[in-house]
Amino acid sequence: MNPCVRPAVSLILLMSLVTGVLYPLLVTGIAQAAFPGQANGSLVRDEQGRVRGSLLIAQGFTGDAWFQARPSAAGYATLPSGASNLSPSNPALAERVRADAGALYQAQQGPVPLALLTTSGSGLDPHLPPEAIAYQLPRVAAARQVAVERLQVLVDEATLQPLVGPPVVNVLALNRALERLAPVGDNAVR
């Protein structure tokens, strides 16, 4: 046997143990101890303890009584997530954006914010800029029969200022607060 083979195999086994077992266990242990909620996916549970979503992953909401998230190229599914990879010159992208803009358009409010028409790189971005939420306020207020000013308070409370970048609003957190403020019965946040 070549004298270089034994040290090479030993080094591969040692590095596999360190980087494949010990390091992941250490990082997982630290994450579980220091940030248990985030380490377990930032799950959102209802009053019965059932998982209703994650603050890290967008989900679709339908109906005028809910704030809508960004569109998702994968239908908010996590496994096939990603951008649509359609180029700006692709007619399919232009048609999708035109259809979404037509569905969301409110005559008194001007053009639909771009964040409500374009997907994020992952297709699962749970945040919207406050302007995109503000565009939806009159629709949601009318559907819930709640004053716009009252909903604006929820939006202000749900607006986050990241360490870097502009303010954002987590749509799931906002819709859960909305459901507590003005329930709509069987259409509770799922």
Among residues 133, 138, 144, 139, which one has the least CA distance to residue 187?
144
pLDDT digits (tens, 9 = 90+) for 84-143: 778 888 898 889 899 989 888 888 888 999 889 988 878 788 999 999 999 999 999 999
In this prediction, residue 187 has a pLDDT band, given cuts at 50, 70 and 90, of very low
**Percent of the residues in the chain that have a pLDDT greater than 90, as a whole number:** 50
Q: Which residues contact 41 (CB under 8 A, 6 or more apart)?
A: 54, 56
Residue 57 bridge partners (DSSP): 54
pLDDT digits (tens, 9 = 90+) for 30-87: 999 999 988 888 888 888 888 888 888 888 888 899 999 998 877 888 777 777 778 8
Q: Are 183 and 66 in contact (CB under 8 A)?
A: no
**Would you say 169 and 161 are in contact if contact means Cβ atoms under 8 Å apart?**
no
Sequence-distant (≥ 6) Cβ neighbours of residue 43 within 8 angstroms: 37, 51, 53, 54
User: What's the mean pLDDT when you consider all of the chain?
Assistant: 88
Whether 189 has a pLDDT exceeding 70, the answer reads no
Tell me the pLDDT tens digit for each residue of 160-185: 999 999 999 999 999 999 988 877 75
Please list, in sequence order, all residues whose beta carbon lies within 8 angstroms of the beta carbon of residue 157, skipping any fewer than 6 positions away. Answer: 177
Whole-number pLDDT of residue 185: 57
Cα–Cα dist 167/98, whole Å: 27
**pTM metric for this prediction:** 0.76
Is the pLDDT at 16 greater than 90, yes or no?
yes
Of 156, 149, 148, residue with least CA distance to 174: 156
Instruction: Give the strand order in the sheet containing 159-160.
Output: 127-128, 168-170, 159-160
